[in-house]
Amino acid sequence: MFTSRCEKNLGGYVPDGTPNLNERLKVTSQEISALQKATESYKVDVTLDPETACSRLILSEDLKNARMLGCIPHLSNKFPREAFVWGRERITSGRHYWVVKVSSKQWAAGISRDSVRKKKSINPNTDDSIWAVGVKPHDKYTSEVCIFPEVDSFYLEQNIRKLHVALNYEEGRVEFYDECDEFIYAFTSISFSGEEIRPFFFVPDHGSLIC
């Protein structure tokens, strides 16, 4: 169950019959607080770039919310360009962290080279310009989490509703965590070659996101 993923992040304790529960909760709280302090120091207030959004992708006035009007083809071997939007932030150095809240059965979020916007089509399974986590329905009860470029996938009994993205430009590393701060995946040893990197989002099929 998805809840067990959250419990696992809290030390895997079982409340009933645990003699040192208060002490373990205290330690867990301290660990979470330390993680929050570490990430807050390089947190980015991501805003969406209206110049990269099609007319069917509606952005809020504060450029924090994107909502797709109508149905766009599902997540597959190619992302339809009509469902793209990029963050306005252009990153060329340093460590950066942001959070994406998603309300959709399908979505993808991560980072991309700025130059990828010039391509007519993108194959997320093989493209070396996007590094993202995507979610799509598997059956009535589970969702498939896909890693792009295609390197792995796994299933959850519930969808991820909040994605944490942590980027270290100099190390060529980007990490993804769920809403329980549980690790999902990391890309390492990426050669950015001094190119601008931007937050990247895929919002199809009546979906929406908040960053």
Tokens of 75: 């997540």
Residues 51, 134: Cα–Cα separation, whole Å: 23
Question: Domain extents for the chain?
Answer: 1-41, 43-210
pLDDT of the residue at 49: 95
Q: What angle do CA 53, 54, 56 make, to 5 degrees?
A: 115
pLDDT value for 13: 29
- Cα 26 to Cα 137: distance, rounded to the nearest angstrom: 37
Cβ atoms of residues 186 and 111 within 8 Å: no
Q: Which residues pair with 52 in a beta bridge?
A: none
- The fold of the 43-210 domain, in CATH, is Jelly Rolls (2.60.120)
Q: Check pLDDT > 80 for residue 43.
A: yes
Cβ(189)–Cβ(174) under 8 Å? no
Residue 31, pLDDT score: 47
Q: Is 113 exposed, middle or buried (0-12, 13-18, 19+ CB in 10 A)?
A: buried
Higher per-residue confidence, 86 vs 119: 86
Check whether 101 has a pLDDT greater than 90. yes
Q: Is the pTM of this model over 0.85?
A: no
SS3 81: helix
Distances (CA, A) of 75 to 10, 94, 205, 209: 33, 31, 10, 16
- Rounded Cα–Cα distance for residues 172 and 138 (Å): 31
pLDDT at 15: 36
Give tens-digit pLDDT for 149-204. 876 677 776 678 899 999 999 999 999 998 888 888 899 999 998 999 999 998 87
H helix or E strand, kind and range, residue 23: helix 21-40
Under 8 Å between Cβ of 180 and 9 = yes
